[in-house]
Structure 1
Amino acid sequence: MKKSRLIGTVTPLLLTASALAAAEKLYSFAFKRINYVPDASDEMQKYATAYYRHVDWVATHDHLAVWHLDTTDHQHLSALWLAHPNSHKAVIIGHGYKGTGITMSNYAQMFYELGFSVLLPDDRGHGQSDGDYISFGWLDRADYLGWLDKMAQELGPEAQLLLFGVSMGAATVSMVAGSSALPPQVKAVVADCGYSSLDEELSYLLKKLFHLPRRPLVPLASFINYRRLGFGIGQVDVKRALRHNHLPLLVIHGAKDVYVPTAMGITNYNASAGPKALWIVPDAIHAESYWVDPTAYRDHIAAFIAPYFA
């Protein structure tokens, strides 16, 4: 074989092997579980004292219990249940990427004070739940249907349920809202700074953080994920799910969010087929909307959901 032909044959193989190795690194970084909660960003550290005050409030509450859910694919999941006496209203709160249920304690206390019982799940690949990889809401959406059924059974025939999530949790509850199997007890959805699709979010972050194009890394990572979790990255499409949502939806997004761009929140708002409202919070970065003004945040949500909860 001539040297030029040999080089022409070997070079694409080397490039492919290099791309596969890079995709595997990307996949492990983005999808593989870690058994700790990463530190908050420098911009969010100023809220640490208030954050831990909420965590202590939940962790020491008299009505706190641990719930478990076993899935059809043999995953054992865990959640915290904070029961509100004499209330038939309850909210499931979806946590963010590499977070856990307890990291949503500020929202838990807020909803409890609004008269809701609260469920704080640890999603697959997080906290006390099984799973070696993070599914970015895709597998979790089916798990949430199981949690919602459990909540409805706990509260009885008068149960009224709310979906709420932040960041990855917002994407999760939005995809739950678009499910044809949604329990009738679910009355509304509040989604704070969720991405419009996983493909778009990964492609955006690759370019922003590493100055890399979408191809070939995202398609290769999608192939890896399909082999390991059984679905492609393109299936995690929040805006597509919201086209099937007819529940009232409140979309909240920080005006200065550069981690999940504000435009994605607007895309999700536009996609939803039911009654809806959009609140762009001035000066808020990613997942900061609550912390900018907790009272305004609570009042905004309370006003939106009031017509749908007796």
Structure 2
Amino acid sequence: MKKKGLLAALATPVALFTATLVASEKLYNFAFKRVDYVPETSADKQKYADAYWAYVNWLHRQPVQKWQLNRDDAANHLVAQYVPAKTTSHKTVIVSHGYKGDGETMANYAYMFHNMGYNVLLPDDRGHGKSAGKYISFGWQDRRDYLEWIDQVIHKNGANSEIVLFGVSMGGATVEMMSGEDLPSQVKTIIADCGYTSIEEELAYLLKRQFHLPKFPFVPIVSFINRHRMGYFLSDVSSVEQLRHNKLPIFFIHGEKDVYVPSWMLKKNYRAANGPKMMWQVPDATHAESFWLNPAAYEKHVTAFLSRYMPK
């Protein structure tokens, strides 16, 4: 083959490879890079906007305390809002927020638990809100940060603390990933609303559904980028593997019409989980909509679960 012919033959695959790398880099930045604002909710959730802002306004009226971790380390400085119970209580819920949200976006759940007599801690995860971090870890680094939040609750509220871990969407996956850690005895139960099985499966699912792109080669390249920037491969970020080590009572909640984190992920997480477990699939609920469809029913189910494992 002549030199020109060889160059021409090589040009197309090289160009394709380069384009794939560029696209994967853009995908990584789109999905993993922090944003310093909370994106608008989807159009189908706009009908809940007035109720959402009413909960946020309620939160703003509370005697909120600012809690911090690593305050002298700018790269790892984390911030949370703490809402004390109406009357002194040894029960605290740590609420883990969703993707590109922050603690304030969980005001509705804070209101619910506050009315149930709990202290409420609302962290901003790494890469979100007022906390540091260039990238979103999808629960993997956050699970370790939450261990420190747990320690702070115990330090401030006493060794007789009883702690609930609660999260929705990415937050649901975060508390699922925490289930496999060596948790203090003060952590009594876990409630995970619409958490995914793993970030690798979730990314592959959304690539196909939203962008009509295959898992290969994009997910492996994104995983390699993440290994370089965050220190771990996407295959490490698994709720399923962590749930296999769970020992605590865990309550799974999931909308039957969820197409963002499909219900087969709920079933896979549920099957993997060790320890006492319950599951509630909410009819007609889309992603993270279970509370909003019927707040009273949601509170009733949560209360029933907690009363079984955290009696008054």
Does the alignment reach a TM-score above 0.5?
yes
Instruction: Confirm whether residue 16 of structure 1 aligns to residue 17 of structure 2.
Output: yes
Match for residue 128 of structure 1 among 130, 138, 155: 130
Structure 2 distance, partners of 1:51, 1:73, is: 32
Partner of 1:101: 103
Amino acid across the alignment from 1:90: T
Residue 158 of structure 1 aligns to a residue whose secondary structure is: coil
For residues 112-170 of structure 1, the C-alpha deviation after alignment (integer angstroms, 9 at most, x for no partner) is 11111000000000000000110100110100000001011111121000000000000
RMSD between aligned residues: 1.3
Q: What is the aligned partner in structure 2 of residue 178 from structure 1?
A: 180
In structure 2, C-alpha distance between the alignment counterparts of 1:271 and 1:114, rounded to whole Å: 30
What SS does the corresponding residue of 1:78 show, helix, strand or coil?
strand
Amino acid at match of 2:275: G
Q: AA paired with 1:232?
A: F
Is 2:177–2:243's contact at 8 Å kept on the other side of the alignment?
Answer: yes
Aligned-partner Cα distance in 2 for 1:141–1:7: 50
- Take 1:146 and 1:12, find their aligned partners in 2: how far apart are those partners? 48
Amino acid at match of 2:68: H
Normalising by structure 1, report the TM-score: 0.97
Residue 274 of structure 1 is matched in structure 2 by 275
Tell me which residue corresponds to 2:119.
117
**Equivalent residues of 2:75, 2:133 under 8 A apart:** no
Where 1:56 maps in the other structure, the secondary structure is helix
Sequence identity (%): 53
For residue 132 of structure 1, what is the amino acid of its counterpart? K
Q: How big is the shift at 1:74?
A: 4.7
Task: Specify the alignment match of 1:149 in structure 2.
Answer: 151
CA deviation digits over 1:165-210, x for unaligned, max 9?
0000000011111112x11100000000000010000000000011
1:231 paired residue number: 232
> Deviations for 1:216-257, whole angstroms, at most 9, x for unmatched residues?
111111111111111111111111110000111100000000
CA distance in structure 2 between the partners assigned to 1:184 and 1:119 by the alignment: 18
TM-score, normalised on structure 2?
A: 0.96
In the alignment of these two chains, the number of paired residues is 308
**Could you tell me which residue of structure 2 aligns to residue 250 of structure 1?**
251
Matched to 1:172, the amino acid is T
| Deviation (angstroms), 1:73 | 9.5
Contact 2:92 2:163 in 1 (8 A): yes
Q: C-alpha offsets along residues 239-286 of structure 1, whole Å, 9 cap, x if unaligned?
A: 111000011110000000001101111111111001001100000000
Aligned pair partner of 2:165 in 142, 163, 166: 163
Which SS does the other structure have where 1:138 is aligned? coil
1:63-95 Cα offsets, whole Å, 9 max, x none, are: x11100118895000000011131100010000
State the secondary structure of the residue aligned to 2:141. Answer: helix
Write the letter of the residue equivalent to 1:126: H
Report the AA paired with residue 180 of structure 2. G
> In 2, Cα distance between the equivalents of 1:254 and 1:7?
52
Structure 1 gap segments, 5+ residues each: none
Shift of 1:10: 3.2
Alpha-carbon distance between aligned partners in 1 of 2:88 and 2:224, rounded to the nearest angstrom: 49
Displacement of 1:41? 0.8
- 1: distance between equivalents of 2:42 and 2:75? 35
Separation (CA, whole Å) in 1 of partners of 2:149 and 2:289: 27
